[in-house]
């Protein structure tokens, strides 16, 4: 475990240069490099089970630079650009500390990889290097290596990269046998096989990919090929599912969902040590027509000034023509998913995570609170939110607690569609499973009992129950029976704008608090949010506006849940402006006490 300052490998040098601001990149590349450097520090501690093997990182890069490029006006050796060194070096260099007891091999850390860049940044070139290397020059024998795409022609692109490497080098050609008639290559040293796959392969069996490439994933209408590869790697000790793609036009495609997951992973919403991410895109607010900004989405342009210059008239034409031409330029050249991150409600998720404090509801016994309710139409999440405003040295603070409910019969379905661990959240007590009403619809009586329990246990004093009127008719009688005052909060931008804006401002100001737990030790000790569902929900929230510029939150896809944030904002509509609504009984008691004291003073 070498000290970072002593390491000069090309992968880590790129990360150091990016973090130091020496390389022009977007925020997600910066986060990826920061992750690499942070993980190297974590690798020095015994509990972290991975380490960075400089020799293995350099080995694949050295191999790549021994390959020959024959395409063009003359043959030349491959020269890996720094960003390519980072990708290849990371994928091959990060290893498990614990060696395999049978082989003694330190298996690779990353089992899945997501790389997104603009068009013509060498995406297929990188996959071609991996195919060639892992096919014949790694330790694995009888491996299955697949190049998968929606169409055979696209699937063959990566295969052709490998064939060009082979046919351009007589010595290399001795290690392979190419079968162009069935789009496959035999790896003679390891007895492995490289195959190009396309079309409907759902009936195929036996997929155990040592390397499974999903090329241009944005064009896949379903995640069928990805899941076939993923389903075959459970028992594989070293494996890699590699997605390298540009952005796409379809936000309902599986690629966009994976893209958003990977963005949140880099921002710290999720943790997944086996997923590699490199997303080259411009930052929000960057001018689309400034050529220097294009390098953020097209890192290869830094080394090809002619290509950068050639893109300028394309950009100008797209801007002038608008419509489909502009859309194609933004998506394919600038690597921007349409309906990009400008609509994200909380853009800096780190600010949200900083809201975590070592407090819980027990620290607010006897407090006034505002309750928000987001009621589902059937089998989706239903959430209750408790917002407790209080003062600290003259500054308003808000402690927020949420809890969600889901029908028993819908848990497995939502785990599959939403791709989040509801089962683990249920085990942690973040979600209550409702088992009545056939297990397919949330029984609101669970919510009533939950609220009653909190009120009794913590002596809370709900001032208002703020509810979304949708699906609330059957619930109102129960609320009235509890003796609480309820308020209907219409779900429109006009009604929700002030609360939506104010909630975000208070988060940014550090005045919102959520329950946290301490992790780490020594100088690296920090407090992180307990409620992962709540953090996932706020990462999903997008803002939409009406014609008057008033906003509310919404979600892009049906499988993105924002119910906890909806419930908070419902409660926030009143909590933000009526934190200290006087309690008449308390005021009378105070007056009587003051009156009695004044009488005693008169007698003295």
Number of alpha carbons in the 13 Å side-chain half-sphere of residue 72? 8
Note the pLDDT tens digit of each residue in 389-441. 999 988 999 999 999 999 988 888 888 777 788 888 999 999 999 887 766 77
Q: What is the mean pLDDT of residues 179-190?
A: 91
Which carries the bigger pLDDT value, residue 315 or residue 417?
315
Least confident of 308-322, 340-354, 541-555: 340-354
Rounded mean pLDDT of the chain? 86
First-residue to last-residue Cα distance in the chain:
80
Judge whether residue 446 has pLDDT over 90.
no
d(CA 433, CA 310): 58
Which 8-state DSSP code applies to residue 99? P
Number of alpha carbons in the 13 Å side-chain half-sphere of residue 129? 26
Least confident of 241-245, 461-465, 544-548: 544-548
**pLDDT value, residue 186:** 94
Distance of CA 320 to the CA centre of its chain: 35
Judge whether residue 271 has pLDDT over 80.
yes
Q: What is the mean pLDDT of residues 275-293?
A: 91
**pLDDT value, residue 273:** 95
pTM of the model: 0.70
**Antiparallel, parallel or unpaired: β 209-215 and 144-149:** parallel
d(CA 194, CA 131): 7
DSSP for 89-121 reads: HHHHHEEESSPPTTT----BS-SEEEEE--TTS
Question: Hey, what domains does the chain have and what are their CATH numbers?
Answer: 4-280 (3.40.50.300), 349-584 (3.30.420.240)
Judge whether residue 377 has pLDDT over 70.
no
DSSP for 384-417 reads: EEEEEEEEETTEEEEEEEEEEEEEGGGHHHHHHH
376 in Cβ contact with 409 (< 8 Å):
no
Query: Residue 279: in which H helix or E strand, if any?
Result: strand 275-279
360 in Cβ contact with 565 (< 8 Å):
no
**pLDDT value, residue 602:** 59
Of residues 156, 177, 150, 155, the one with CA closest to residue 248: 150
Which carries the bigger pLDDT value, residue 83 or residue 471?
83
d(CA 307, CA 325): 19
d(CA 401, CA 416): 27
**pLDDT value, residue 585:** 57
Q: What is the mean pLDDT of residues 475-482?
A: 73
Judge whether residue 375 has pLDDT over 50.
yes
**pLDDT value, residue 206:** 65
Which 8-state DSSP code applies to residue 49? -
**203 band by pLDDT with thresholds 50, 70 and 90:** very low
Backbone angles phi, psi at 67, to 5 degrees: -75, 160
Please list, in sequence order, all residues whose beta carbon lies within 8 angstroms of the beta carbon of residue 431, skipping any fewer than 6 positions away: 381, 403, 404, 405, 406, 422, 425, 533
**Which of 168-182, 331-345, 523-537 ranks highest by mean pLDDT?**
168-182
Which carries the bigger pLDDT value, residue 101 or residue 415?
101
Which 8-state DSSP code applies to residue 5? G
- Exposure string over 513-550, b if 16+ CB within 10 A, otherwise e: bbbbeeeeeeeeeebbbbbbbbbbbbbbbbbeeeeeeb
Note the pLDDT tens digit of each residue in 525-578. 788 889 989 998 988 888 888 888 889 988 766 667 899 999 999 999 999 986
**pLDDT value, residue 92:** 96
Of residues 536, 575, 402, 566, the one with CA closest to residue 471: 566
């Amino acid at each position: 475990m070498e000290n970072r300052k002593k390491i000069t490998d090309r992968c880590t040098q790129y990360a150091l240069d990016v973090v130091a601001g020496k390389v022009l990149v977007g925020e997600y590349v910066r986060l990826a490099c920061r992750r690499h450097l942070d993980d190297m520090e974590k690798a020095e501690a015994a509990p972290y089970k991975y380490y960075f093997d400089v020799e293995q990182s350099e080995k694949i890069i050295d191999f790549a630079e021994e390959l020959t490029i024959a395409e063009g006006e003359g043959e030349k050796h491959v020269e890996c650009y720094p960003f390519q060194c980072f990708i290849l070096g990371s994928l091959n260099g990060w290893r498990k500390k614990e060696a395999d007891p049978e082989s003694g091999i330190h298996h690779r850390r990353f089992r899945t990889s997501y790389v997104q860049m603009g068009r013509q940044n060498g995406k297929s070139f990188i996959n071609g290097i991996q195919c060639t290397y892992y096919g014949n020059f790694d330790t694995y024998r009888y491996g299955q290596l697949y190049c998968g795409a929606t169409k055979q022609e696209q699937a063959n692109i990566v295969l052709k990269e490998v064939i060009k490497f082979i046919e351009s080098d007589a010595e290399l050609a001795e290690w392979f046998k190419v079968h162009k008639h069935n789009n496959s290559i035999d790896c003679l040293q390891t007895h492995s096989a490289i195959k190009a796959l396309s079309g409907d392969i759902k009936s195929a069996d036996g997929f155990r990919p040592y390397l499974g490439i999903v090329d241009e994933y944005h064009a896949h209408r379903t995640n069928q090929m990805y899941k076939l590869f993923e389903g075959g790697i459970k028992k594989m000790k070293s494996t890699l599912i590699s997605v390298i793609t540009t952005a796409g036009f379809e936000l309902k495609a599986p690629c966009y969902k994976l893209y958003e997951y990977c963005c949140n992973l880099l921002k710290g919403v999720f943790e997944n040590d086996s997923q590699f991410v490199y997303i080259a895109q411009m930052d929000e607010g960057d001018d689309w027509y400034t050529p220097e900004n294009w390098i953020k989405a097209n890192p290869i342009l830094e080394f090809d000034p002619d290509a950068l210059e050639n893109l300028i008239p394309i950009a100008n034409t797209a801007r002038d023509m608008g419509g489909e031409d502009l859309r194609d330029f933004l998506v394919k050249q600038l690597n921007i998913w349409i309906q990009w991150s400008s609509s994200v409600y909380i853009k800096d998720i780190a600010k949200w995570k900083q809201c975590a404090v070592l407090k819980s509801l027990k620290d607010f016994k006897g407090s006034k609170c505002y309750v928000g309710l987001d009621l589902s139409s059937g089998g989706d999440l239903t959430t209750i939110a408790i917002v407790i405003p209080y003062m600290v040295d003259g500054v308003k603070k808000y402690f927020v607690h949420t809890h969600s409910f889901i029908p028993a019969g819908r848990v497995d379905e939502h785990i599959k569609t939403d791709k989040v661990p509801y089962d683990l959240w249920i085990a942690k007590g973040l979600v209550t499973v409702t088992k009545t009403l056939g297990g397919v619809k949330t029984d609101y009586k669970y919510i009533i009992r939950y609220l009653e329990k909190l009120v009794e246990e913590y002596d809370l004093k709900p001032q208002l129950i703020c509810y979304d009127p949708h699906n609330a008719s059957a619930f109102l009688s129960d609320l009235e029976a509890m003796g609480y005052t309820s308020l209907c909060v219409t779900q429109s931008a006009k009604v929700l704008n002030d609360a939506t804006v104010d909630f975000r401002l208070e988060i940014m100001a550090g005045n919102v608090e959520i329950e946290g737990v301490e992790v780490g030790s020594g100088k690296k000790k920090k407090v992180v949010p307990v409620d992962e569902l709540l953090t996932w929900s706020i990462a999903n929230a997008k803002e939409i506006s009406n014609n008057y510029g008033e906003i509310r939150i919404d979600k892009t896809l049906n499988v993105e849940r924002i119910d906890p944030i909806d419930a908070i904002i419902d409660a926030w509509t009143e909590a933000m402006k009526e934190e200290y609504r006087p309690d008449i009984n308390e005021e009378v008691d105070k007056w009587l006490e003051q009156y009695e004291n004044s009488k005693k003073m008169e007698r003295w």
